[in-house]
Amino acid sequence: MKVLVTGASGLLGRTVATTLLERGTDVTVLQRRPSGLECREIRGDIRDRATIDAAVANQDAVVHLAARVSPTGAWQDFVDVNFDATRSLLTASRAAGIDRLVYVSSPAVASSGEAHVGAGGLRADPANTKSHYARSKALAEQLALAADADDFAVTAIRPHLVWGPGDEQLVARIVDRAASGALRVIGTGAALIDSTYVDNAADAIVAALDRVEFVRGRALVVSNGEPRPVVELLRGLCTAAAVPFPSSSVPPSAAKSMGAVIEAVWAIAKVDRDPPMTRFLAEQLSTAHWYDQRETRALLDWEPAVSLDDGLARLTTWFGAQPIRPRNQDF
Amino acid sequence: MKSRSTTASHCAEAKLPPVDLSQLDPDWSRLITAPDGTGTLRTWHVLDSGSDQDNGFKGTVLCVHGNPNWSYMWRGLIGALTGWRVVAVDLLNMGFSERTGDQRRFAEHVDDLGALTEALGVTGPVVTVAHDWGGPISMGWAQRHLDQVAGVVLMNTGVARPEGVRVPPLISIARSTLRATCERTPTFLHGALRMARPQLRGEIYAGYTAPYRSADRRSGIRHFVEDIPVLDSHPTHVPLGEVAAGMSLLADRPALLLWGANDIVFSDAFLHDLMARLPHADVHRYPDAGHQVMEDTAALGERGAIGAIHAWLDSLDTTTEADHVARAAAPTDTADTTERQPMWSAIEARRGDNSAAVIEMDPDAPARVANTISFDELDRRVSATAAGLVHAGLGPGDRLASLVPPGIDLMVLVYACLRVGIVVVAPDAALGLDGMRRALRSSRPDVVVGDWRGLTLAKSLRLPARRLSVDPLPASLARSLGATDSVSALAERNASTSTIAAAPTGDDPAAIVFTSGSTGPSKGVVYTHSQLEAQRDAISAAFDVRADDRLAVAFAPFAVLAPAIGIPSVIPAMDVTKPAELCAADLADAASSLGATVVFASPRVLANITETTADATDAQQTALRSIRAVATAGAPVSPELLQAAEAVFPDAAIYTPYGMTELLPATVASADEIRSSATDRGVCVGRPLRGVEVEIRPAEAPTGTLPAALAVGEVGEVWLRGPHRCAGYDGLWAQQRHAFVGDWHRSGDVGHVDASGRLWIEGRVDHLIHTADGAHTPVPIELAAESVAQVDQAAAVGIGPIGTQQIAVVVTGASLDKAVVADAATAAAVRAAIVPDVAAVLVAPKIPVDRRHNSKIDRSRIQTWANDVLRGATRPRL
């Protein structure tokens, strides 16, 4: 089987490509920056039709991870990358005779600000999502699943809070903020949050490729199935990175209004860096987000191979081996 | 000549309901035209499920709504029943049936219903199910179709206004402003629907109001309100009275009364009136439901009204599996050759004995004896009081609620009642004020006896019961409390009367006691005389109580027991509402006054005694050291408490029984067995007493079934039986059916039996934690957490939906940080001690416990708190 992986410069995309390569799959990766992987590589912009056409040629399957994941930014940027590019990829894939596509999504597509407590069977709800990212991903997920057809199997896998060594998203942001003393725990810090160690998410995505007949037309949340109070999770990440963990906390309401003000300031100033707190992140970390994993595991015939504790141990090892400390940011 | 309203109302044809009403299947609706009682052709709308021939036709369930409802109220029942043809009628001028343009009174509705069932071809057995005005209409129909009636179900209705019950303001106002409130405006309609608790959801509310959208459709509502016969001259007074008188015709038909207790129109008095007319009826009273009982109990599942009717209909069919099971489970008929020893026989046997039977310590001076009574005096006072109660008009089967504090007066009253056969209703103070109120209202006593506090409570509840004070009260106080007499004055006036009717038999009801409510809403538990006697004997045997023992009783439920065993007892100075505050010195003074050899106390009281022993004098400590046995009850004793108690009572055997209000005691654990707790899962409660059988069966077995017992070591629900098991619950038919199968009681506890026959309790069925890997019991997790040095108390609860729950462990500990999420070291230590994955370790300010025993963990409350906390609530309250 020949598999195209888009967005392989990110942590999860790279791990999916590696996992496939390790089992001897013929992998092609598509992204802007060099992936550093030893496989066929197409570098280019996912928004470019010609790049997509070149990438899907002669492939059997696609794992589509490329996305704009920033918590802020202009809506049109999210539409361009997350929605329009997905539509192009779906069209091109069918035209190229590809018979299966795994769309990598997020439980955020079903998040309207309410807690997710052991939630299952969540439907994408673009009208009520709370961020440009989530809304654009929700619309794209609906589009992708609607494209499922007899000769073109499409499934959506939604890993929740992926983290691991080399993570530039969750881990780096938290560790950087803790290192600069800017990390605050929101509320009691007790909200139960599940997360996904990157290898487990990659395994689940590969399992979805293999078992697409069982999961086509559906969206499945994937996680470690080990929810923890958010303060424990953050503390675990900071401990792994050997940075001090804060003791003071911010009430969730204050965090949300703070997030709104900062978002507005960022929008005016057009500062090309993520603000320290956005409403979306405040909600994600101050209300429960964990999921019923029974159906996912049964359908994918998959279990997380790396437990939360094992993952943190690997992260500790990785940080220990880093030549320089993670960069300090000044907010 | 028939009395008819002269004011014309609109005529309108019957029609089908809109097809989009929530939960209503349009296929059930049909219009049927037939001559009414006067021969005029009329058209009715009925819901008709049709004959369910596939499931063996059992008969017809005929549902009759009241005012201002329509057949919509039966939609859930129609969907739930199989094998029955369910016909739910819209009475003429109601629902979607024809608007006839005239007023149809009660008698005509009865005629109309007969005409309709004939037109519908309702043949074969019929069970009527009715609510509100539908009740008397269905009873009128039933009395004319006795050959067909297989059973009757009545809900929040009445056939006669009970004596002393006034027309409620809602109805009075509606009657005085009939057109304005019932017809021109939907005020009465909305008022009745808003009585639903919880409030009806929007789409259901819309379903109920659908046929009554305009004034010209509401004349029937007005006519029903007008038809309430407030005065004897009212045209409906006579026909309704005939139906009330005819209720005796139904005395041989199965009957089920389902009742929402919070109904301002059909109060408990109407329920009691129907119970008096149908004394054989099965009764389930829902304490938290109101007039709209079908809706209010919808969330209760199989114990709600729909589930109860379903199960009750099944029970009519004598070939159901549940009945076979019940018969199979019935005890083999072993002829009891030993002669009964009535509860009062030991007192009678010591007639002429002037030694102390009961000593009461003075609550204001705990070292002082307040009152003493000898066995001879006790016997005489019991006889005189029994005669006095009979003289006051009380007899076998009447219910007497006692609000008398533990002490000599209470003992005299209880044994007098037992002797006469008066059923003692005993809502103990530890239920709390609200719990006592609920207990009193649910148990419908004929008379309430109390001190001024108890009578004040009885008065505030407006119970129809007569009120008697313990001792004579000042005339003005007695008048204001409605006390018509006092028990002691009654006894005095009848001291020389020696003739009391025949003693009650062993099968007659003797007492109603109440579950603590720590494991669900408090329930009334009925004991017969022979069950009480068996309980007395079981307690004596369990704690090895001998004829020469003397009891110090610091556990209220056992406070009246000693005279039945025939031994003396002392009641320490204690506040019955705060038993845990009894200190070592006061217990020692009480024990010394009698030379007590045995102490009864709850684990919480025992803990307080061990903690206050250092404050007692040497003499007091010596008195405690002479105790030869300590019997606890109510909750398990921890090995730590055991060790502390052994230091205070070095020569005492310490017994910890296990049991429940329904069967107590069931097992008893020795000190060694309690110390073995760390060796297996859960808390060891010892071995079954002689005569008691314990079996473990699969948890969450369907109601009415008796699943096969599990093997040694397997975890399941604890089932028990024994001669002192109660007779059942009072007025809780659906609950009764769940908790009692044959002579077995399913306890709701989970646990296992080990290879040497010892029972280990691991929690409650309701508190099982259902994770994706399967069910986990809370107690082994809690014990493991408590093995961590910095943890004092722990509670394990499930978070999230059943089947995918996560485990949260909530702990307390003096040294712990006050943050909600436990510190890293504590969390790690707790997780290391526990086998399954623990999602969160939380620190709580306290672990709430139940009121009565002050020791059972209130896991439901902790679960609610932990769920809030882990959801991300800002200021969770425990």
Per residue in B714-749, pLDDT (tens digit) is 999 999 999 999 999 999 999 999 999 999 999 999
- pLDDT for residue B337: 52
Residue numbers in A near B799 (CB within 8 A):
117-118, 192
| CA-based end-to-end distance of chain B | 68
Give B686-713 as a DSSP string. EEEPTT-EEEEE-TTPPTT--PPPPPTT
Contact residues on chain B for A294, CB-CB shorter than 8 A = 772, 803-804
Write the pLDDT tens digit of every residue in B803-857. 999 999 999 998 888 789 999 999 999 999 999 999 999 999 888 876 555 557 8
Could you say which of B801, B821, B874 has the minimum Cβ distance to residue A229?
A: B821
- Tens of pLDDT, residue by residue over B192-233, are 999 999 999 999 999 999 999 999 999 999 999 999 998 889
Q: How near does any CA of chain B get to the CA of A251, in Å?
A: 7
CB contact under 8 A, A294 and B876: no
Q: Hey, CA dihedral for B762, B763, B768, B772, is it positive or negative? A: negative
Name the residue among B819, B821, B837 with its Cβ closest to that of A226. Answer: B837
Core vs surface per residue B478-508: b (16+ CB within 10 A) or e: beebbbebbbbebbeebeeeeebeebbebee
Residues of A in contact with B869 (CB under 8 A): 188, 190
Q: Which residues of B touch A252 (CB under 8 A)?
A: 872, 874
With an 8 Å Cβ cutoff, is A250 touching chain B?
Answer: no
pLDDT mean over B386-400: 94
Q: Which residue has the tokens 């361009």?
A: A80
Phi first, then psi, for residue B774 (nearest 5°) are 130, -175
Annotated catalytic, A197? Answer: no
Q: Collect all residues with Cβ–Cβ distance below 8 Å to B541 and sequence separation of at least 6.
A: B689, B690
- Return the number of other C-beta atoms located less than 10 Å from residue B798's C-beta: 26
pLDDT(B3) > 60:
no
The answer to whether the beta carbons of residues B46 and B88 sit under 8 Å apart is yes
| pLDDT tens digit sequence for B109-166 | 999 999 999 999 998 899 999 999 999 999 999 999 999 999 999 999 999 999 888 8
Q: Which of residues 100-129 of A touch B (CB under 8 A)?
A: 115, 117-118, 120
Distance, in angstroms, between B771 CA and closest chain A CA? 10
Model confidence at B870, in pLDDT bands (50, 70, 90)?
Answer: very high
Q: What is the pLDDT at residue B474? A: 94
> Within an 8 Å CB–CB cutoff, is residue B420 touching chain A?
no
Angle between helices B237-245 and B134-144 (to 10 degrees): 60
| Chain B contact set for A281 (CB, 8 A) | none
Domains along the sequence of chain B with CATH = 11-316 (3.40.50.1820), 345-661 (3.40.50.12780), 680-765 (2.30.38.10), 768-871 (3.30.300.30)
Q: Is A187 close to B824, i.e. CB distance below 8 A?
A: no
The three-state secondary structure class of B237 is helix
Chain A residues with CB under 8 Å of B804 CB are: 118, 120, 292-294
Interchain CB distance below 8 Å, B839 and A192 = yes
Question: Which pLDDT belongs to residue B279?
Answer: 93
Residue % of chain B over a pLDDT of 70: 94
Yes or no, beta carbons of B803 and A226 under 8 Å apart: no
In this complex, do A227 and B806 lie within 8 Å of one another by their Cβ atoms? yes
- Provide the whole-model pTM: 0.85
Average confidence (pLDDT) over B250-260: 96
Report CA B170 to chain centroid distance, whole Å.
29
C-alpha span between B54 and B77 (Å, rounded): 18
Per DSSP, the three-state class of B106 is helix
- SS3 annotation, B569-613: EEECCCCCCCHHHCCHHHHHHHHHHHCCCEEEECHHHHHHHHHHH
Inter-chain CB proximity B821 and A294 less than 8 Å: no
pLDDT beneath 50: ranges in chain A? 269-271, 326-331
Show which of residues 36-95 on chain B sit within 8 Å of chain A, judged by CB atoms: none
Task: Name the region of B704 (left: φ>0; alpha: ψ -120 to 50; beta: rest).
Answer: left
Residues in contact with A211: Cβ distance below 8 Å, sequence separation at least 6, in sequence order:
A299, A300, A301
Instruction: Among A187, A189, A227, select the one facing B839 at the smallest CB separation.
Output: A227
pLDDT at residue number A224: 97
| CA dist., res. B677 & res. B526, Å (int) | 34
Residue of B nearest to A228 (CA): B839
Instruction: Please list, in sequence order, all residues whose beta carbon lies within 8 angstroms of the beta carbon of residue B626, skipping any fewer than 6 positions away.
Output: B591, B597, B651
Given A103, A133, A197, A291, the catalytic residue: A133
Residue A259 is predicted with a pLDDT of: 61
Flag whether residue A41 sits within 8 Å of chain B, measured between CB atoms. no
Contact A287 B871 (CB under 8 A): yes
Cβ contact, residue pair B804, A118, below 8 Å? yes
Which pLDDT band holds residue B324 (cuts at 50, 70, 90)?
A: very low
How high is the pLDDT of residue A266? 52
Nearest Cα residue in chain A from B836: A226
| DSSP single-letter state for residue B732 | B
Q: B795 to chain A nearest CA, in Å?
A: 17
Contact B735, B285 (CB under 8 A): no
Q: Cis bond leading into B198, ω under 30°?
A: yes
Residue B743 per-residue DSSP state: T
For A190, which of B806, B820, B837 is closest by C-beta distance? B820
Residue in chain A nearest B773 by alpha carbon: A294
The CA distance from B872 to the nearest CA of chain A, in Å, is: 4
Reported confidence tier of residue B323, pLDDT bands at 50, 70, 90: very low
Q: How far is B838 from chain A (nearest CA, A)?
A: 8
Tell whether A187 is within 8 A of chain B (Cβ): yes
pLDDT at A251: 65
More confident residue, B99 or B679: B99
Among the partner-chain residues A117, A120, A251, the one whose CB lies closest to the CB of B874 is: A251
Q: Which value does ipTM take for this structure?
A: 0.91
- What gap in Å lies between CA B256 and CA B194, rounded to an integer? 26
pLDDT of residue B253 exceeding 60: yes
- Share above pLDDT 90 across residues of chain B, in percent, rounded to a whole number: 75
For chain A, list the domains and their CATH numbers. 2-163+196-223+292-306 (3.40.50.720)
The answer for B 774-833 residues in CB contact with A (under 8 A) is 799-801, 803-806, 819-821, 824, 827
Which residues in chain A touch residue B821, judged by CB atoms under 8 angstroms apart? 188-190, 229, 231-232
Chain A residues in contact with B824 (beta carbon < 8 A): 232, 235, 239
Instruction: Determine the average pLDDT of the residues in B531-552.
Output: 94
> Is the bond preceding B68 in cis, omega lying within 30 degrees of 0?
yes
Which H, E and C letters describe B454-491, residue by residue? HHHHHHHCCCCCEEEECCCCCHHHHHHHCEEEEHHHHH
Question: Do B871 and A293 count as a contact with CB atoms less than 8 A apart?
Answer: no
pLDDT (tens digit, 9 = 90+) per residue, A141-172? Answer: 999 999 999 999 999 999 999 999 988 878 88
A176 vs B52: which has the higher pLDDT? A176
β-pair partners for B155: B131, B258
**Strands B683-688, B759-764: pairing kind:** antiparallel
Kindly give the interhelix angle for B778-786 and B824-833, rounded to the nearest 10 degrees. Answer: 130
Mean pLDDT of chain B, nearest integer? 90
Q: Do A229 and B819 touch (CB under 8 A)?
A: no
